[in-house]
Amino acid sequence: MSERLVVIGSQWGDEGKGKITDYFACRADMVVRYQGGNNAGHTVVFDGNKYSLQSIPSGIFNPATINVMGNGMVVNPVSVVAELQKLHDRGITDYQLFISDRAAMVMPWHADLDGAYEAKKGDSLIGTTKKGIGPTYSDKYARTGLRMGDLLEPEYFAERLRGALDVKNLELRMLGLKEYDFQEVYDQYMELAKQIGHMITDTSDLINGYLRRDDKRVLFEGAQGMMLCCDHGTYPFVTSSSPSAAGVPVGAGVAPKWIDNVLGVAKAYCTRVGEGPFPTELFDQRAHDIRERGHEYGTVTGRPRRVGWFDAVVARYTGRLAGIDNWALMLFDVLSGLDKVMICTGYELDGEVITSPPSTISRLARCKPVLIEMEGWKEDISGVKNFDELPEAAKAYVRKIEELTEIPVGIISVGPDRTQTITVAETLRKW
């Protein structure tokens, strides 16, 4: 039987999944994205070069690795072609990429509608990436959407496109937006099909073929983070998919039994882009310092990220929901230099202390973090190679997270480069 690893974000996205996935992708035979689309912004740094990926899996830099965009994704063919072009321009030309024929396809009007819906929400806007992710998933579940496989059958594609435009143009007109001409969209997408059509296939078959083989390693790459999960996150300030390990079976077309080694990627502190409650958020100089040291600006939108303390309430919650086996604790070096560091252990809500997030954002917005204060450390730890070499205060911080979440820290990242990674867990060292 193959070896598997699921890498998921356990906070509000941007935890550093790109680096971790890339770290394991070097040894993976296959890397699979199973949800989300080009709303993700995965940064991968190696050999001193920085690459930013949106919808393409992080295994793309290794010519021997098969990269799969699974059926649970929303795929924007315009963006895929543009991303590939950018990679080509930087000399990344040797790769293997496959796209599920069942993946929902992002159409040009989806981004327009995303922007228009946001504009109508006024102060209660979600702060989406405006890539059309929500509207594409809405159409998928309304069963009116188009799928990537449709591109391979021009007549069927034309029929689906006509049906979609009949309804969409009405909606676009009502909202005062530009309507789309059938022929223009048809020609544009047929042109895109010429460029990426050969990559579109039944990826579930491909993945299952690898899962059954003893000599294969399959990595499932989550995007966003568990607190942005449409079911379990801070609804409605969430994305429209399930970034959990539980999203893998449906989104990749594999049986749940294959999901057994889940790595929860968590920053050593917390960040959030977009709107929505964030109980441990900091508003003072410390937020500014962490933001600058951690380069906390959105990869996709460039927006400054909101910054807060590590939230063990969130970590316990996502650990339970996704069955996280180990943490990958990211950007640990960013905390160096603070006199004191804090961890949130519970929320005070209307005079009571709770240890799991409430279901509504109205209650979450009233939650005050219950914080414990720990000694900080001054040393630069970006060159540390082993856990034992870390300053005592830093070790105590890691141990406290393990104690509060009852999940071991398997990896500690002390810098953006692949080499700045301390692998503590034996199982992960072997992977």
Residues in contact with ligand IMP by the rule CB under 6 A: 13-14, 39-41, 126-129, 131, 133-134, 223-224, 228, 237, 239-240, 273-274
Measured from the CB atom, the residue of 106 and 394 that comes closer to ligand IMP is 106
**Min. distance of Cβ 129 from ligand IMP in angstroms?**
3
Decide whether 39 or 423 has the Cβ nearer to ligand IMP. Answer: 39
**185, 195, 190, 221: which is closest to 85 by C-alpha?**
195
Per DSSP, the three-state class of 400 is helix
Q: Nearer to ligand IMP by C-beta: 59 or 243?
A: 243
> Nearer to ligand IMP by C-beta: 114 or 325?
114
Q: Minimum CB separation from ligand IMP for residue 305, in Å?
A: 8
Distances (CA, A) of 125 to 12, 174, 373: 17, 20, 34
The CB-of-431 to ligand IMP minimum distance in angstroms stands at 24
DSSP string, 179-231: P--HHHHHHHHHHHHHHHGGGEE-HHHHHHHHHT-TT-EEEEE--S-GGG-TT
Of 65, 66, 69, 70, the residue nearest 81 (C-alpha): 69
Write out the catalytic residue numbers.
14, 42
Indicate the residue among 3 and 296 with the shorter CB distance to ligand IMP: 296
Pick 228 or 342: Cβ nearer ligand IMP: 228
Report the half-sphere exposure of 5 (CA within 13 A, side-chain side): 29
Q: Which residues pair with 104 in a beta bridge?
A: 74, 147
Shortest separation between residue 243's beta carbon and ligand IMP, angstroms = 9
C-alpha 329, offset from chain centre: 15
Rounded Cα–Cα distance for residues 141 and 241 (Å): 11
Is residue 373 within a helix (H) or strand (E), and if so which, with residue range? strand 368-375
Residue with tokens 């801070």: 234
* 128 vs 270: CA distance, rounded Å: 19
- β-strand partners of 7: 221, 263
Backbone φ and ψ for 345, nearest 5 degrees, come out as -105, -15
Kindly state the smallest distance separating residue 146's Cβ from ligand IMP, in Å.
19
- The least CB distance from residue 240 to ligand IMP, in Å, is 6
